[in-house]
Amino acid sequence: MATKKKKKIAIIGGDGIGPSVIAEAKLLLELYQERAGLPIDLWELDLGADRYLRDGTTFPNQIQIAIQRECSAVLLGALGDPRVPNLEHARDILFGMRFGYDLYANVRPVRALSDRLVPLKGRTAKDIDFVVFRENTEGIYVGMGGQFKRGTPDEVAINEDVNTRKGVERIIRAAFDYARANGRTRVTMADKSNAMRHAHELWLRVFHEVRAQYPEIQSNHVYVDALCLYVIQDPGQFQVIVTNNLFGDIVTDLGAALQGGLGMAASANVHASDPARVALFEPVHGSAPPLAGKDIANPFAAMLTAGLLLAHLGWPEEERRIERWVSQALDQGMCTVDVGGTLGTRAAGAWVREQIAAELGPP
């Protein structure tokens, strides 16, 4: 029997609580190597604030190229450290992958795994199940702009919102393609075209053109401020949401509040039209430096992110298995304090892995 070619996964622990939660996700991937025989190869990289402070390294060109050529995916912990006030290392690593690999689709599943984590009165976990497609390489986050007369009473600061026809169309199309492939029947596009009549008129026009090519999928347009209201009033009406970089950043954090906080939120950054290209997976919480080394950070976002990664590589049943056991951990209180448990980071991660290991059986 021919040996399956291994899929290489680069692992970057990051800063603050990043290394501790990514360690739990790495142990989960190693479990799948050993018990399920998944053909994956883990490549741990020494990058982050500690490395930057040690020798000035951020994201070397040779590492960037090697990841692009050799890896199927990257698992990245949160970046950010007060010892690096300008966050040079974080920008180089994160933007070096998002922009450098053209990972234009940030995909954020907003799915509650326990009724008790849903903060809305009268709502249960089954009401919280939608996916946000956030444009990831354009918009106001490209950093175009500048400051004039800095530090004076006449200072002017400008950031430019960059939107291209290609960029807008491909993220909207990615949302519709996802809906079609995953049995979702409704796509919502959010913009602010009533106020940003040039940049967001492009979004509205392209949305109407693309939606016509998916007649079996219901679709609607709302302004982003109204979207935030509707998500709280009736989250069950949403299945797939697509929006720009800035609004996607805001809406997905709102979504995280519906699923139990940032410690439960996973994300993927992909080139949606070329799934063979290397993809970036990261829990969406910050590095939380004050919590580092205290064994109290929630590892579930990182473990759920590992599930997203496995699904992307061709094992969607393992993503569902991980979600199921994280849900059981929440229901049984085998979790960290932020989601109602009493366990530390390592113990919560170990409990989920033990259940999965028992279910997988011996290697």
What is the spatial distance between Cα 235 and Cα 239, in angstroms, rounded to a whole number? 9
- Of 46, 225, 234, 274, the catalytic one is 225
What is the DSSP-derived secondary structure letter of residue 214? -
- Of 177, 253, 295, 331, the catalytic one is 253
Is 115 designated active site?
Answer: no
Is 225 designated active site?
Answer: yes
- Of 141, 161, 178, 191, the catalytic one is 141
What is the spatial distance between Cα 103 and Cα 156, in angstroms, rounded to a whole number? 32
Is 101 designated active site?
Answer: no
Dig out the tokens for 298 from the structure. 């929630």
Is 192 designated active site?
Answer: yes
Q: Which amino acid is located at 55 in the chain?
A: D
Dig out the tokens for 72 from the structure. 């199927």
Sign of the C-alpha dihedral computed for residues 340, 345, 351 and 352 taken in this order: positive
- Of 52, 191, 192, 338, the catalytic one is 192
Is 154 designated active site?
Answer: no
What is the spatial distance between Cα 143 and Cα 154, in angstroms, rounded to a whole number? 22
What is the spatial distance between Cα 284 and Cα 35, in angstroms, rounded to a whole number? 28
- Of 15, 81, 249, 338, the catalytic one is 249
What is the spatial distance between Cα 351 and Cα 346, in angstroms, rounded to a whole number? 9
Q: Where are the alpha helices (DSSP H) in 57-193?
A: 61-70, 88-98, 165-181
- Residues classed as catalytic: 141, 192, 225, 249, 253
